[in-house]
Structure 1
C-alpha cells in the first residue's frame, strides 16, 4: 500500500480554528490515564468538544501499525483541523510518540488561532503495570501483557521545545481534569449546543 504524499517542511501551512476554540493534547504511556482524562474533560464540558483518539483512528479506522510516517499521523491532523474549523474544541489523546507525531503536533499547535495546551502524563513503569492489571477487560489483558507494555514504554518521551506540562502519577483523575479545564478556559458552559449551524457557516464560507 502506497503512502500518500505530504507537504514538506517548507510548504505553506494553513491556520485553523478561531480565537474561541481550544486545543488540548494529552500524551503518555499505555495505562497512564490519557483516555480517562480526555473522557472526563468531554463529560464535564458537554457538546461542542471533539475527542480525537489516536487508537481509534490508527487501530480501528486504518488498522495500521504505529510507525514513522504512518497514515494515521496525517489523519489525526486532518480530523483535528476539521473539527476546530467547524467551531469545536478538540482534545487529542494517545501515546503519540514524540519522534513519530512531534512534528505534526507542533505544527497543529502553531497553526491554531485559539488557546492550545499540551500535557504529558508521567507515570512510572511499576505504576503502569498496576494500573493495567486493574482493567476490567479480560480479553485486552490477555492480549496486552507485561512484555508488550515494556516494549511500548518510553520514559519522559516529551515533545521538543518544552511545550508540554508534565503531570505526575500523584495527580488524581478529578484533579487532572480540573487542572486542564481551568488552564484552557473550558470551565464555562458549552459554546456549541447545536453544531449544525456552525458546520453550515463553515461550508458556506468555503464556497464563497
Structure 2
C-alpha cells in the first residue's frame, strides 16, 4: 500500500494547454506546504529529456515520485497530458494502492481552445499548433469511470474551487483561496 489514510492523491489530466499546470499550482497555493506537485513535463522533458513513448522511463518515475511523496505524508497532485493508453495502467495501480483518498480529473478542452490558450503561455514558442495536433486526443478518459470531467466552460478559479471542495484539501483552520 501507498501513503497513509490521511493523504490525498489528485490527478489532473487533459490536453496540452488545458490548464493542468495552472490548476495544480493553484491547488498547492491554496493548501500551502505539504502538497507535492508531480508534473509530467518536469519529469519527462526536463529531468529525463525523453519523448512521450508507451514504455517511457518517465511513467515509472512519475509513479515513484508520487508514491514517495505519499509515503512521506505529502498530499500529491500529479498533472500532465498523461494519455490513457500510456499512463492509464500506472495511474490505475497508483489509485488502487493508495490508502488515502484519490480524486481524478480530466480537463475536457477542445483543440481550438487548447491552441488559443497555448498562445498565451510562456512556452508558446516551444511547440506549434501543428505539434499540438499530433498530441491532441479528444475525450481521452481513463477506463472505468475513474475521472470527474471538468468542462471547457469551467474557469480556472471554478475548477480549483471544485477540486478543493471535492477533496476537502484544506489545512485545519484555513479557508481555501483559489
Q: State if a TM-score over 0.5 links the two structures.
A: yes
Q: Which has the larger radius of gyration?
A: 1
**2: CA distance between counterparts of 1:84 and 1:143?**
32
Corresponding position of 2:137: 154
1:68-109 per-residue CA deviation (whole Å, 9 max, x = no partner) reads: 011010000000000000000000000001000000000000
**TM-score normalised per structure 2:** 0.95
Query: Across the two proteins, how many residue pairs are aligned to each other?
Result: 174
Corresponding position of 1:68: 54
Corresponding position of 2:120: 134
**1: CA distance between counterparts of 2:172 and 2:77?**
17
**2: CA distance between counterparts of 1:143 and 1:163?**
32
Q: Which runs of 5+ in 1 are unaligned?
A: 1-14, 191-208
**2: CA distance between counterparts of 1:141 and 1:172?**
21
Corresponding position of 1:22: 8
CA contact (8 A) 1:22 1:89 kept: yes
**TM-score normalised per structure 1:** 0.81
Corresponding position of 1:90: 76
Q: CA deviation at 1:67?
A: 0.3
CA contact (8 A) 1:45 1:189 kept: no
Corresponding position of 1:189: 172
Corresponding position of 1:198: none
Which of 48, 63, 66 is matched with 2:34 structurally?
48
**2: CA distance between counterparts of 1:86 and 1:19?**
12
**1: CA distance between counterparts of 2:82 and 2:95?**
15
**2: CA distance between counterparts of 1:18 and 1:143?**
39
Corresponding position of 1:4: none
What SS does structure 1 have at the residue aligned with 2:33?
coil
CA contact (8 A) 1:35 1:93 kept: yes
